[in-house]
A and B are shown apart, each in its own frame.
Chain A
Amino acid sequence: MSVDAGAPEIAPSQMRGILGAEVAIVSRDDTELLTGVRRHDLVTHRSEFGAHPGTVVGLTARLLDDLGAVALTGRGGGHFPAAVKWRSVAAAGTGGAVVVNGAEGEPGSAKDATLLQTRPHLVLDGLVAAINAVQAVEGVVWLHEGAEATTGSVTLAIRERVAAGEPDPPIRVVLAPSRYLSGEATSIIRTLEGGPTLPRFVANPAQPWSDGYPTVLVNNTETMARAAVVAARGAENYEPTSLLTVISRGYRRVVEVPHTVTIGQVVAEHWADMPHGAPSAVLLGGYGGSWVSWSDIASLPVDIGALRSAGLSIGAGLIGPLPSQACGIEEASRLVRYLADQSARQCGPCVFGLAAVAELCDDLTAGKLSPSGRKKLDQFMAEISGRGACRHPDGAIRMLTSALQVFADDVSVHRKGRTCGARVYGIMPLPGEGT
């Protein structure tokens, strides 16, 4: 599949990246790759990305600097600088674990599953390079228990490496309960320490593990793959690309694009509904991301810095265009309900606050929200932000806040007790729905 002809800078023949010019088609309801990107077995991987990171002389010494030089950030959504995180773990002590987080926090995103199903060795190389860089002793691949295709690809890859005698440290695959918050870094660390798979409060973000426990470095799958690319090709040859998931109604596409490409170009090229007209808005980053009107977002590049100066984040790489016949308020309410249901039930403002907000959103879509109800909604949203142990409630409130602004017209229609005339519903895929 070719990339947008109207964007010569994409130049697929010159961009090697991770997926290159290939586009993955992933089903809407689970993370099984349908078609598009061939899986790299170990032999193909070694010919594309070079030798095992454990055998590259001087890699450990230069990798941390290289990660800083390319300004690699965490691709799970937080975009925390990887080099800073790795250094603080390395400084805290040796003998810990490094975790590849493949239990995608964002149900809409399919990039991590795509990577683990097509570039498992790249991810594992990144894991091994990280283990060496922070002087950890073991690797963990953290997956959702229902993600069978992904689990199969990872276990096959580990077996390939064992059979080929690659000098890997111990790597184990751990399956997490299929919940939204299983992908939260603190859920992972808490589990490795023998606790439940639920997020926890961390007083010092630089040390998310408990006192007296081994260090744990958790990185998103794409971050780990990118670290492997930096390790293999060096900072000077690293191409700053992003993996994006574009949501259409029938399927999702995972694409790799350079940072110069605009979101408008990505949508025009990869969104199935584009022939029927541009979307009214785009949900950017994830279900805890932001809605942005099409006119505001179409010309923005995918670049993290450019988006940040517009007050936005590419988050986990989700691009969710909303067809113009759909109602943004109904879509946002649906997502708020889902996020409220996915609360780990630990923090009062999240358990009770998100539930109360979801209820008011239901009233809003049903045209039953009174002016005082709207005031209450605003008050609750202000009360919830920043008050959970993890950032789950913040994300839900951020998404809803942006929806109430971007879809202000829809809000006023609904407020008058009428239906908004939307003809399509349920644009963003939710786990367990439609199966």
Chain B
Amino acid sequence: MSRGKPKVREAREGPAPDGTTHLRIDPSICDGVGICSHLAPDLITLDSWGYPILDTHAVPRGRALRQAEAAVAACPKKALFLQHL
């Protein structure tokens, strides 16, 4: 049970409004195109099947946020989005 990597998020953990920004994905839309991992290497890795694993932590301002915004804007399936809590 302790196998979860830090980058694998626990589903539906209650988001509390705290002014942070989180990178999120609708996995049912994602087609594993993969450009997100290329544009946001600090936040997104690809799993064994080519689908993105997102860093669930709040996205810090600056470089990481710019990466996240680029990945969101580039996703051809519009599966990625930024959630402001």
Let me know if chains A and B touch directly in the complex, using CB atoms closer than 8 Å: yes
- By a beta-carbon cutoff of 8 Å, the part of chain A in contact with chain B is 199-201, 203-205, 311, 344, 346-350, 352-353, 356, 378-383, 385-389, 391, 394, 401, 405
Min C-beta distance of A49 to chain B, whole Å? 34
Taking CB atoms, residues of chain B closer than 8 Å to A389 are: 26-28
Taking CB atoms, residues of chain B closer than 8 Å to A378 are: 3
- By a beta-carbon cutoff of 8 Å, the part of chain B in contact with chain A is 1, 3-5, 8-12, 14-15, 24, 26-32, 47-51, 53, 81, 83
**Partner among B1, B15, B31, B53 whose Cβ is within 8 Å of the Cβ of A387:** B53
Bound state CA distance, A204 and B31, in angstroms? 22
Q: Which of A204, A346, A379, A383 has the most CB of B within 10 A?
A: A383
Q: Are B27 and A388 in contact (CB under 8 A)?
A: yes
Contact sample, A vs B, 8 pairs, CB 8 Å cutoff: A201-B28, A204-B15, A383-B53, A387-B8, A387-B51, A388-B11, A389-B26, A394-B11
Nearest B residue (CB) for A355? B49
Taking CB atoms, residues of chain A closer than 8 Å to B12 are: 205, 391
Bound state CA distance, A381 and B9, in angstroms? 13
Nearest B residue (CB) for A349? B51
Bound state CA distance, A354 and B27, in angstroms? 15
> Can you add 19 more A-B contacts, CB < 8 Å, to A386-B11, A387-B8, A401-B1?
A201-B29, A203-B26, A205-B14, A311-B1, A348-B30, A348-B47, A350-B27, A352-B51, A353-B47, A353-B48, A378-B3, A382-B4, A383-B5, A386-B4, A386-B8, A387-B53, A388-B27, A391-B11, A391-B12
Taking CB atoms, residues of chain B closer than 8 Å to A380 are: 48
Bound state CA distance, A348 and B31, in angstroms? 7
Q: Are A348 and B51 in contact (CB under 8 A)?
A: yes
Taking CB atoms, residues of chain B closer than 8 Å to A356 are: 48-49
Min C-beta distance of B68 to chain A, whole Å? 16
Taking CB atoms, residues of chain A closer than 8 Å to B28 are: 199-201, 344, 346-347, 389
Q: Are A203 and B24 in contact (CB under 8 A)?
A: yes
Min C-beta distance of B16 to chain A, whole Å? 12
Taking CB atoms, residues of chain B closer than 8 Å to A382 are: 3-5, 8
Min C-beta distance of B78 to chain A, whole Å? 12
Bound state CA distance, A388 and B28, in angstroms? 7
**Partner among B11, B24, B49, B81 whose Cβ is within 8 Å of the Cβ of A353:** B49
Nearest A residue (CB) for B31? A348
Taking CB atoms, residues of chain A closer than 8 Å to B26 are: 201, 203, 389
Taking CB atoms, residues of chain B closer than 8 Å to A352 are: 48-49, 51
Bound state CA distance, A218 and B43, in angstroms? 35
Q: Which of A200, A347, A391 has the most CB of B within 10 A?
A: A347
Q: Are B47 and A347 in contact (CB under 8 A)?
A: no
Taking CB atoms, residues of chain A closer than 8 Å to B29 are: 201
Min C-beta distance of A399 to chain B, whole Å? 12
The 5 A-B pairs of least Cβ separation, nearest first, read A348-B51, A346-B28, A201-B26, A347-B27, A352-B49
Bound state CA distance, A199 and B32, in angstroms? 19
Q: Which of B24, B28, B50, B83 has the most CB of A within 10 A?
A: B28
Bound state CA distance, A356 and B48, in angstroms? 10
Taking CB atoms, residues of chain A closer than 8 Å to B3 are: 378, 381-382, 401
Q: Are B9 and A386 in contact (CB under 8 A)?
A: yes
Min C-beta distance of A385 to chain B, whole Å? 6
Nearest B residue (CB) for A376? B48
Min C-beta distance of A274 to chain B, whole Å? 29
Nearest A residue (CB) for B81? A203
Nearest A residue (CB) for B1? A401
Q: Are B48 and A379 in contact (CB under 8 A)?
A: yes
Min C-beta distance of B57 to chain A, whole Å? 14
**Partner among A200, A201, A383 whose Cβ is within 8 Å of the Cβ of B8:** A383
Bound state CA distance, A74 and B25, in angstroms? 26
Q: Are A349 and B11 in contact (CB under 8 A)?
A: no
Bound state CA distance, A406 and B1, in angstroms? 12
Using A386-B10, A394-B11 as known contacts, say yes or no to A348 and B32 having CB atoms under 8 A apart.
Answer: yes
Taking CB atoms, residues of chain B closer than 8 Å to A347 are: 27-28, 30, 51
Bound state CA distance, A348 and B26, in angstroms? 11
Nearest A residue (CB) for B5? A382
Taking CB atoms, residues of chain A closer than 8 Å to B48 are: 352-353, 356, 379-380, 383
Bound state CA distance, A361 and B2, in angstroms? 20
